[in-house]
Amino acid sequence: MKSIVIERAGGAEVLQIKEMPDLAPRYGEMIVDVAYAGVGLVDILIRKGEFTELFPFPVIPGLEVSGYVRSIGEGVQGFRIGQPVASMKLLELGGYATQARVTPQLTVPLDELGGDVKMPEAAASIVNLTTAYMAVKHVNRMKEGDTVLVHAAAGGLGSFLGQIAKRFGAGTVLGTVGSSDKIKLAASLGYDELLLRSDFVDVIKQIVGVQGVDAVFDPVGGETRSRSLELLKPLGQMIALGNASGGELMHATNDIWLGNMNIAGFNLGAYAVYDPESVGQAAREALQLLASGDVRSEVYGIYPMEYASDAHRLLESRQTSGKLVLQMG
Protein backbone atom coordinates (compact mmCIF):
# COMPACT_ATOMS: atom_id res chain seq x y z
CA MET A 1 0.00 0.00 0.00
CA LYS A 2 0.99 3.65 -0.32
CA SER A 3 0.91 6.08 2.59
CA ILE A 4 1.63 9.76 3.10
CA VAL A 5 4.07 9.85 6.00
CA ILE A 6 5.33 12.74 8.12
CA GLU A 7 8.72 11.98 9.64
CA ARG A 8 9.49 15.41 11.11
CA ALA A 9 7.74 18.65 11.89
CA GLY A 10 7.73 21.23 9.13
CA GLY A 11 5.93 22.77 6.19
CA ALA A 12 3.82 21.01 3.59
CA GLU A 13 6.97 19.70 1.92
CA VAL A 14 7.43 17.12 4.73
CA LEU A 15 4.50 15.08 3.39
CA GLN A 16 6.15 12.12 1.68
CA ILE A 17 4.60 9.15 -0.15
CA LYS A 18 6.05 5.83 0.93
CA GLU A 19 5.28 2.20 0.09
CA MET A 20 4.45 0.09 3.13
CA PRO A 21 3.31 -3.50 3.75
CA ASP A 22 -0.37 -4.24 3.21
CA LEU A 23 -2.47 -4.22 6.36
CA ALA A 24 -4.09 -7.28 7.94
CA PRO A 25 -7.04 -6.91 10.31
CA ARG A 26 -6.62 -7.63 13.99
CA TYR A 27 -9.42 -8.93 16.18
CA GLY A 28 -12.40 -6.54 16.12
CA GLU A 29 -11.07 -4.50 13.17
CA MET A 30 -11.51 -4.14 9.43
CA ILE A 31 -9.21 -3.00 6.63
CA VAL A 32 -10.64 -0.54 4.12
CA ASP A 33 -9.36 0.21 0.62
CA VAL A 34 -9.40 4.00 0.89
CA ALA A 35 -10.93 5.96 -1.97
CA TYR A 36 -10.84 9.41 -0.36
CA ALA A 37 -9.43 10.98 2.80
CA GLY A 38 -10.55 14.24 4.37
CA VAL A 39 -8.01 17.04 4.94
CA GLY A 40 -8.51 19.01 8.14
CA LEU A 41 -6.89 21.65 10.29
CA VAL A 42 -5.79 19.00 12.77
CA ASP A 43 -3.63 17.47 10.00
CA ILE A 44 -1.83 20.81 9.69
CA LEU A 45 -1.24 20.96 13.44
CA ILE A 46 0.04 17.37 13.53
CA ARG A 47 2.39 18.16 10.63
CA LYS A 48 3.76 21.11 12.61
CA GLY A 49 4.47 18.88 15.60
CA GLU A 50 1.85 20.30 17.94
CA PHE A 51 0.50 16.89 19.02
CA THR A 52 3.65 14.80 19.20
CA GLU A 53 2.76 13.57 22.68
CA LEU A 54 -0.32 11.91 21.17
CA PHE A 55 0.94 11.20 17.64
CA PRO A 56 4.75 10.95 17.61
CA PHE A 57 6.67 10.96 14.32
CA PRO A 58 6.70 9.16 12.00
CA VAL A 59 2.95 9.49 11.58
CA ILE A 60 0.36 8.96 8.84
CA PRO A 61 -2.20 11.77 9.27
CA GLY A 62 -5.88 11.63 8.39
CA LEU A 63 -8.97 11.44 10.59
CA GLU A 64 -11.63 10.40 8.06
CA VAL A 65 -11.86 8.11 5.07
CA SER A 66 -14.32 6.63 2.62
CA GLY A 67 -13.78 3.47 0.63
CA TYR A 68 -14.60 -0.24 0.44
CA VAL A 69 -14.17 -3.00 3.01
CA ARG A 70 -11.10 -5.01 2.03
CA SER A 71 -10.91 -7.56 4.85
CA ILE A 72 -12.72 -8.26 8.11
CA GLY A 73 -11.16 -9.44 11.35
CA GLU A 74 -12.58 -11.94 13.78
CA GLY A 75 -15.31 -10.64 16.05
CA VAL A 76 -16.69 -8.15 13.51
CA GLN A 77 -20.28 -8.49 12.42
CA GLY A 78 -22.63 -6.49 10.21
CA PHE A 79 -20.17 -5.71 7.39
CA ARG A 80 -19.20 -7.49 4.17
CA ILE A 81 -16.23 -7.48 1.81
CA GLY A 82 -16.59 -4.77 -0.84
CA GLN A 83 -19.14 -2.76 1.13
CA PRO A 84 -18.92 1.04 0.68
CA VAL A 85 -18.22 2.71 4.03
CA ALA A 86 -17.05 5.91 5.67
CA SER A 87 -15.03 5.76 8.86
CA MET A 88 -13.45 7.99 11.47
CA LYS A 89 -9.80 7.42 12.39
CA LEU A 90 -10.10 9.49 15.56
CA LEU A 91 -8.03 7.27 17.83
CA GLU A 92 -4.95 6.43 15.75
CA LEU A 93 -5.02 8.51 12.51
CA GLY A 94 -3.77 6.81 9.33
CA GLY A 95 -6.30 8.09 6.80
CA TYR A 96 -3.74 9.35 4.27
CA ALA A 97 -3.13 5.89 2.83
CA THR A 98 -4.54 3.53 0.23
CA GLN A 99 -5.46 1.14 3.06
CA ALA A 100 -6.72 2.01 6.53
CA ARG A 101 -7.38 0.06 9.70
CA VAL A 102 -10.85 0.93 11.06
CA THR A 103 -13.07 -0.04 13.97
CA PRO A 104 -16.67 -1.08 13.22
CA GLN A 105 -18.05 1.21 15.97
CA LEU A 106 -16.80 4.28 14.10
CA THR A 107 -17.64 3.02 10.60
CA VAL A 108 -20.86 3.77 8.70
CA PRO A 109 -22.11 1.51 5.86
CA LEU A 110 -22.99 3.98 3.11
CA ASP A 111 -25.30 1.58 1.29
CA GLU A 112 -27.58 1.37 4.35
CA LEU A 113 -28.36 5.09 4.60
CA GLY A 114 -31.32 5.06 2.26
CA GLY A 115 -29.87 7.62 -0.13
CA ASP A 116 -26.94 8.50 -2.33
CA VAL A 117 -23.82 9.70 -0.51
CA LYS A 118 -20.85 9.99 -2.86
CA MET A 119 -17.41 8.89 -1.70
CA PRO A 120 -15.79 12.36 -1.71
CA GLU A 121 -18.72 13.79 0.27
CA ALA A 122 -18.53 10.97 2.81
CA ALA A 123 -14.82 11.55 3.47
CA ALA A 124 -15.37 15.30 3.63
CA SER A 125 -18.32 15.05 5.98
CA ILE A 126 -18.20 12.27 8.51
CA VAL A 127 -16.08 13.99 11.19
CA ASN A 128 -17.39 17.55 10.86
CA LEU A 129 -21.00 16.55 10.31
CA THR A 130 -20.95 14.22 13.31
CA THR A 131 -19.32 16.94 15.41
CA ALA A 132 -21.98 19.46 14.38
CA TYR A 133 -24.77 16.96 14.98
CA MET A 134 -23.60 16.03 18.48
CA ALA A 135 -22.77 19.63 19.43
CA VAL A 136 -26.28 20.80 18.57
CA LYS A 137 -28.28 17.77 19.73
CA HIS A 138 -26.34 16.43 22.71
CA VAL A 139 -24.25 19.33 24.02
CA ASN A 140 -26.43 22.36 23.37
CA ARG A 141 -29.81 20.58 23.41
CA MET A 142 -31.23 23.32 21.23
CA LYS A 143 -34.77 24.53 21.81
CA GLU A 144 -37.29 25.56 19.17
CA GLY A 145 -36.82 29.19 18.18
CA ASP A 146 -33.33 29.67 19.69
CA THR A 147 -31.05 32.38 18.34
CA VAL A 148 -27.55 31.03 17.73
CA LEU A 149 -24.20 32.34 16.53
CA VAL A 150 -21.70 30.23 14.60
CA HIS A 151 -18.11 31.33 14.00
CA ALA A 152 -16.18 30.25 10.87
CA ALA A 153 -19.54 29.71 9.16
CA ALA A 154 -18.01 28.77 5.79
CA GLY A 155 -15.45 26.32 7.17
CA GLY A 156 -15.63 22.54 7.21
CA LEU A 157 -17.45 22.47 10.55
CA GLY A 158 -19.34 25.74 10.18
CA SER A 159 -20.80 24.67 6.85
CA PHE A 160 -22.73 22.00 8.77
CA LEU A 161 -23.47 23.84 12.01
CA GLY A 162 -25.87 26.32 10.40
CA GLN A 163 -27.75 23.56 8.61
CA ILE A 164 -27.97 21.31 11.69
CA ALA A 165 -29.08 24.20 13.90
CA LYS A 166 -31.95 24.92 11.51
CA ARG A 167 -32.78 21.22 11.38
CA PHE A 168 -33.18 21.18 15.17
CA GLY A 169 -35.45 24.21 15.26
CA ALA A 170 -33.26 27.28 15.63
CA GLY A 171 -35.21 30.43 14.88
CA THR A 172 -32.32 32.70 13.84
CA VAL A 173 -28.86 31.48 12.87
CA LEU A 174 -26.13 34.12 12.66
CA GLY A 175 -22.68 33.39 11.27
CA THR A 176 -19.30 35.06 11.04
CA VAL A 177 -16.64 34.57 8.36
CA GLY A 178 -13.07 35.71 8.07
CA SER A 179 -13.35 37.38 4.65
CA SER A 180 -16.10 38.90 2.52
CA ASP A 181 -15.64 36.38 -0.31
CA LYS A 182 -16.93 33.59 1.96
CA ILE A 183 -20.27 35.27 2.65
CA LYS A 184 -21.91 34.10 -0.59
CA LEU A 185 -21.20 30.43 0.08
CA ALA A 186 -22.21 30.51 3.73
CA ALA A 187 -25.48 32.26 2.85
CA SER A 188 -26.69 29.01 1.25
CA LEU A 189 -25.92 26.91 4.33
CA GLY A 190 -28.73 27.76 6.72
CA TYR A 191 -27.58 31.18 7.90
CA ASP A 192 -30.07 34.03 8.24
CA GLU A 193 -27.39 36.72 8.45
CA LEU A 194 -23.63 36.74 7.92
CA LEU A 195 -20.99 39.25 8.91
CA LEU A 196 -17.26 39.64 9.12
CA ARG A 197 -15.66 38.40 12.31
CA SER A 198 -13.62 41.59 12.60
CA ASP A 199 -16.61 43.63 13.85
CA PHE A 200 -19.19 41.02 14.82
CA VAL A 201 -19.92 42.05 18.43
CA ASP A 202 -21.38 45.50 17.79
CA VAL A 203 -23.31 44.35 14.73
CA ILE A 204 -24.86 41.37 16.50
CA LYS A 205 -25.81 43.54 19.46
CA GLN A 206 -27.74 45.70 17.01
CA ILE A 207 -29.46 42.62 15.58
CA VAL A 208 -30.45 40.85 18.81
CA GLY A 209 -30.61 43.84 21.16
CA VAL A 210 -30.45 43.26 24.90
CA GLN A 211 -31.86 39.75 24.50
CA GLY A 212 -28.55 38.29 23.36
CA VAL A 213 -28.09 34.87 21.78
CA ASP A 214 -28.98 31.48 23.22
CA ALA A 215 -25.84 29.71 22.02
CA VAL A 216 -22.47 30.36 20.41
CA PHE A 217 -20.68 27.57 18.53
CA ASP A 218 -17.01 28.49 18.31
CA PRO A 219 -14.18 26.58 16.58
CA VAL A 220 -12.01 29.74 16.41
CA GLY A 221 -11.09 30.44 20.04
CA GLY A 222 -8.88 33.23 21.34
CA GLU A 223 -10.26 36.76 21.31
CA THR A 224 -13.27 35.67 19.25
CA ARG A 225 -14.40 33.32 22.03
CA SER A 226 -13.79 35.83 24.79
CA ARG A 227 -15.75 38.58 23.05
CA SER A 228 -18.59 36.23 22.16
CA LEU A 229 -19.36 35.79 25.84
CA GLU A 230 -20.63 39.37 25.81
CA LEU A 231 -23.43 38.27 23.49
CA LEU A 232 -24.85 35.41 25.58
CA LYS A 233 -28.22 35.93 27.19
CA PRO A 234 -28.55 34.75 30.81
CA LEU A 235 -28.26 30.93 30.87
CA GLY A 236 -27.00 31.02 27.29
CA GLN A 237 -24.27 28.57 26.31
CA MET A 238 -20.85 28.89 24.72
CA ILE A 239 -19.73 25.65 23.04
CA ALA A 240 -15.99 25.50 22.34
CA LEU A 241 -15.37 23.25 19.33
CA GLY A 242 -11.77 24.08 18.47
CA ASN A 243 -9.02 26.65 18.71
CA ALA A 244 -8.08 27.55 15.13
CA SER A 245 -6.71 30.93 16.23
CA GLY A 246 -4.11 29.29 18.45
CA GLY A 247 -4.99 31.72 21.23
CA GLU A 248 -5.84 30.66 24.74
CA LEU A 249 -7.89 32.94 26.96
CA MET A 250 -9.31 31.91 30.31
CA HIS A 251 -12.42 33.63 31.64
CA ALA A 252 -12.70 34.46 35.32
CA THR A 253 -14.94 32.03 37.17
CA ASN A 254 -16.68 34.87 38.98
CA ASP A 255 -17.62 36.45 35.64
CA ILE A 256 -19.16 33.17 34.52
CA TRP A 257 -21.05 32.87 37.81
CA LEU A 258 -22.30 36.45 37.93
CA GLY A 259 -23.11 36.46 34.21
CA ASN A 260 -25.18 33.27 34.39
CA MET A 261 -23.09 31.78 31.58
CA ASN A 262 -22.78 28.15 30.55
CA ILE A 263 -19.46 27.24 28.93
CA ALA A 264 -19.08 23.77 27.40
CA GLY A 265 -16.45 22.05 25.31
CA PHE A 266 -16.84 19.21 22.82
CA ASN A 267 -14.05 17.24 21.16
CA LEU A 268 -15.22 14.34 19.02
CA GLY A 269 -11.97 12.39 19.24
CA ALA A 270 -11.77 12.57 23.03
CA TYR A 271 -15.42 11.61 23.37
CA ALA A 272 -14.95 8.67 21.00
CA VAL A 273 -12.40 7.23 23.44
CA TYR A 274 -15.04 7.39 26.17
CA ASP A 275 -18.07 6.20 24.17
CA PRO A 276 -17.32 5.06 20.60
CA GLU A 277 -20.74 3.43 20.20
CA SER A 278 -22.57 6.72 20.80
CA VAL A 279 -20.28 8.54 18.37
CA GLY A 280 -20.83 5.85 15.74
CA GLN A 281 -24.60 6.02 16.17
CA ALA A 282 -24.51 9.80 15.85
CA ALA A 283 -22.42 9.45 12.68
CA ARG A 284 -25.05 7.18 11.13
CA GLU A 285 -27.85 9.59 12.03
CA ALA A 286 -25.87 12.56 10.74
CA LEU A 287 -24.96 10.90 7.44
CA GLN A 288 -28.59 9.92 6.97
CA LEU A 289 -29.37 13.65 6.88
CA LEU A 290 -26.80 13.97 4.10
CA ALA A 291 -28.24 10.99 2.24
CA SER A 292 -31.78 12.38 2.44
CA GLY A 293 -30.71 15.83 1.24
CA ASP A 294 -31.66 17.53 4.51
CA VAL A 295 -28.09 18.81 4.74
CA ARG A 296 -25.47 19.14 2.02
CA SER A 297 -21.72 18.86 1.98
CA GLU A 298 -19.38 21.49 0.54
CA VAL A 299 -16.35 19.84 -1.08
CA TYR A 300 -14.05 22.72 -1.99
CA GLY A 301 -11.52 20.64 -3.90
CA ILE A 302 -10.30 17.09 -4.60
CA TYR A 303 -6.55 16.48 -4.87
CA PRO A 304 -4.72 13.31 -5.96
CA MET A 305 -2.60 11.99 -3.09
CA GLU A 306 0.56 13.09 -4.95
CA TYR A 307 -0.59 16.69 -4.43
CA ALA A 308 -1.32 16.45 -0.71
CA SER A 309 1.22 19.19 0.00
CA ASP A 310 -0.72 21.57 -2.27
CA ALA A 311 -3.92 20.75 -0.39
CA HIS A 312 -2.16 21.52 2.90
CA ARG A 313 -0.85 24.85 1.62
CA LEU A 314 -4.29 25.85 0.37
CA LEU A 315 -5.98 24.96 3.65
CA GLU A 316 -3.29 26.75 5.60
CA SER A 317 -3.86 29.90 3.55
CA ARG A 318 -7.39 30.10 5.00
CA GLN A 319 -8.77 30.79 1.54
CA THR A 320 -10.94 27.69 1.38
CA SER A 321 -14.63 27.17 2.06
CA GLY A 322 -16.05 23.79 2.98
CA LYS A 323 -13.66 20.83 2.89
CA LEU A 324 -10.67 19.52 0.93
CA VAL A 325 -10.25 15.80 0.22
CA LEU A 326 -7.47 13.62 -1.14
CA GLN A 327 -8.17 10.96 -3.77
CA MET A 328 -6.21 7.97 -2.49
CA GLY A 329 -7.17 5.01 -4.65
CA angle 292-294-298, nearest 5°?
100
Distance CA 187, CA 307 (A): 30
104: amino acid identity, one letter: P
CA angle 25-117-295, nearest 5°?
125
Beta strands in 114-265 (DSSP E): 147-150, 172-177, 193-196, 213-218, 232-240, 262-265
- Which residue, 205, 208, 180, is CA-closest to 194? 180
Distance CA 28, CA 278 (A): 17
Tell me what pLDDT residue 183 has: 86
Q: What is the pLDDT along the chain (329 residues), one digit of tens a residue?
A: 999 999 999 999 999 999 999 999 999 999 999 999 999 989 999 999 988 998 999 999 999 999 999 999 999 999 999 999 999 999 889 999 999 999 999 999 999 998 889 999 999 999 999 999 999 999 998 999 999 999 999 888 999 999 999 999 999 999 999 888 888 878 888 899 999 998 898 899 999 887 899 999 999 988 898 889 989 999 999 999 988 777 766 666 777 777 888 999 999 999 999 999 999 999 999 999 999 999 999 888 999 999 999 999 999 988 777 789 999 98
Distance CA 208, CA 174 (A): 10
Q: 2-125+275-327 and 143-266: same fold?
A: no
Tell me what pLDDT residue 274 has: 95
Tell me what pLDDT residue 320 has: 79
Tell me what pLDDT residue 311 has: 96
CB 166 within 8 A of CB 179: no
Q: Which CATH architecture has domain 2-125+275-327?
A: Alpha-Beta Complex (3.90)
Distance CA 66, CA 69 (A): 10
Ranges of each domain in the chain: 2-125+275-327, 143-266
Tell me what pLDDT residue 250 has: 64
CB 283 within 8 A of CB 306: no
Distance CA 143, CA 59 (A): 42
Burial class (CB in 10 A: 0-12, 13-18, 19+), 192: middle
Pick the CATH number of 143-266 from 2.30.180.10, 3.40.50.720, 3.40.50.10150, 3.30.70.2970: 3.40.50.720
- Which residue, 98, 108, 114, 105, is CA-closest to 32? 98
Tell me what pLDDT residue 89 has: 95
**pTM for this one?**
0.93
Question: Angle, nearest 10°, between helix axes 158-167 and 276-292?
Answer: 80
